[in-house]
Structure 1
């Protein structure tokens, strides 16, 4: 592979994608070859347990611009994306998923917009999600409405991890000491000059989604707890509302006692106890999310560990942990 700095890097997180990888290469390569710029495609194998590593090696022999970075274990989509951004060498860096739901043909439009308008960030915005299931569209709509309300209106609606970043934006992003990064929120937070390119979201080319309901919930929790203290304030207001309700119930019980109309209060007692208990558990759960983030930060462990990079075969790897300068040599 040419060791000179390419004009464009394309970062592609990959996890158990043996079925879709040949389709991805077949569609992506003509698009990038047609741009007329030097490029590299940096695939980050996030600890795949199927034949993905074998397929990647086969594709790399046929496609000189394909670069393979392998993580020692599954670290999650956002951390795999972070690993790719840290190692990408291009003057512009595009992040895209391998499932071909985000069309590679849009990359050229992103690059032209960034170069022509002098932008550091170009977001890929999904203008049509009709290929997604109704449940997926509903949960995505809830997520973006919640995030824009909690984090701010600068977060583009329906913009995922398909975007183009300038070298300036990549350096600023990778310099942040994030342990649980959510790039779709971190990038707007940088406040760099940005634009948007709309596209129609397509169906997955092959294989199964790697973002089931559990991972979507985890992403939503990381998004909220990593960018806002609003949940803590919600816990405070819920506690205040619970106290007010208990005072009302206590006042009603005292009035009934004074008027001599006391009746057995089993139902009201049970409802009150359950309500207060639910509030306490909810508040403890919200506090626990923040304590868990503090605990993870204090541990100082790297969010990912790179075990192989085809750009530096046979050489020891030195990987920054992204937590303030700690390094791991494998």
Structure 2
């Protein structure tokens, strides 16, 4: 019997997880010819999320869980789920029901009948989001698609169904600084996109603040493009040319009109401008340097504190 591993990253989802469990159980029951592994990744939750997951595991042998020693972030949770998955197919979805489980049968049918390596989902609307957040999200995708060789789909969700070959390829990339949306596109393979209307959270509040999303977008830009470094180099050359022009202008002015003491306010503005540009450029260089520094440490992507997965008897389905 074919098997699907459903990976569900969870961080403080005690209000939503019961609704999710009820809905995914309904879908699993409908797909009666498929064996399921429901793999919850507790990413250092501070509420009762883990307690509820353990209750599910007691009642349902298909429920597995991994609990981190602290909050490592969603990217680490995704990698842990991929690494411990055992199914022929692997699916990722959020516990807040913004990723409709009802699409799963359709996604599996596409992979089996049309020969795709993965089926991904994207939102065609951003209903429920603030206009500012939607604006910056669209701007991010436009910038990324212009400066990176990896194509990112606007409105793409992490919700997707993948073949074992697709998953194994992702696992071969053990980089510490992970940006899954970029990795999905970078490895290639044939992917079909399913569009759906934006779904609001069934309960609880989003854990992605505007600041966290901004930092995540910077992570993606640094991980999949070196264009910012090129921009810094061009900017430096431009400022050098401007400086030479000013030097020539000052020399000519001094020879013709003498050297009156004037213009110090404009001089202060110019120095401040150049200083700000230099600090900005150093900051960009620092972002790339910091990522390389973290990679050289070879720290684990996540640390497991508690799990009900039996490593000795874990049989991963082959390609």
TM-score norm. by structure 2 comes to 0.92
1:207 aligns with 2:207: no
Contact 1:31–1:104 (8 Å) recurs in 2 = yes
The total of aligned residue pairs comes to 312
1:294 aligns with 2:267: no
Contact 1:103–1:201 (8 Å) recurs in 2 = no
1:16 aligns with 2:15: no
Contact 1:45–1:71 (8 Å) recurs in 2 = yes
Contact 1:109–1:197 (8 Å) recurs in 2 = no
Post-superposition CA distance 1:259-304 (Å, at most 9, x none) = 3175611122112111111111111111111111111111111010
Partner of 2:79: 82
Partner of 1:196: 193
Q: Give the alignment partner of residue 218 of structure 2, picking from 214, 221, 229.
A: 221
Which residues of 2 match residues 251-290 of structure 1 at below 5 A? 251-260=248-257, 262=260, 264-290=262-288
Q: Give the alignment partner of residue 53 of structure 1, picking from 43, 50, 53.
A: 50
CA RMSD of aligned residues (A): 2.0
1:151 aligns with 2:148: yes
Give the whole-Å Cα distance in 1 for the aligned partners of 2:132 and 2:297: 37
Partner of 1:27: 23
Q: How far off is 1:316 after superposition?
A: 12
Post-superposition CA distance 1:26-83 (Å, at most 9, x none) = 2221012212211111110011111111111122233332211111111111111100
Q: How far off is 1:153 after superposition?
A: 6.0
Give the whole-Å Cα distance in 1 for the aligned partners of 2:313 and 2:64: 17
Greater length-normalized contact order (CA 8 Å, ≥ 6 residues apart): 2
Which residues of 2 match residues 238-253 of structure 1 at below 5 A? 238-253=235-250
Partner of 1:327: none
Q: How far off is 1:197 after superposition?
A: 0.9
Give the whole-Å Cα distance in 1 for the aligned partners of 2:149 and 2:143: 10
Q: How far off is 1:195 after superposition?
A: 0.9
TM-score norm. by structure 1 comes to 0.89
Give the whole-Å Cα distance in 2 for the aligned partners of 1:273 and 1:16: 48
Partner of 1:117: 114
Give the whole-Å Cα distance in 2 for the aligned partners of 1:151 and 1:162: 22
- SS of residue matched to 1:123: strand
- SS of residue matched to 1:128: coil
Partner of 1:135: 132
**Quick one: structure 1 residues 96 and 295, their matched pair in 2 at CA, closer, same or farther if it must change by over 3 Å?**
same
- SS of residue matched to 1:139: helix
Q: What are structure 2's unaligned runs of at least 5 residues?
A: 315-319
Question: Stretches of 4+ moved more than 4 A in 1?
Answer: none
Give the whole-Å Cα distance in 2 for the aligned partners of 1:101 and 1:231: 33
Q: What are structure 1's unaligned runs of at least 5 residues?
A: 318-330
Post-superposition CA distance 1:193-219 (Å, at most 9, x none) = 111111111111111111112221221
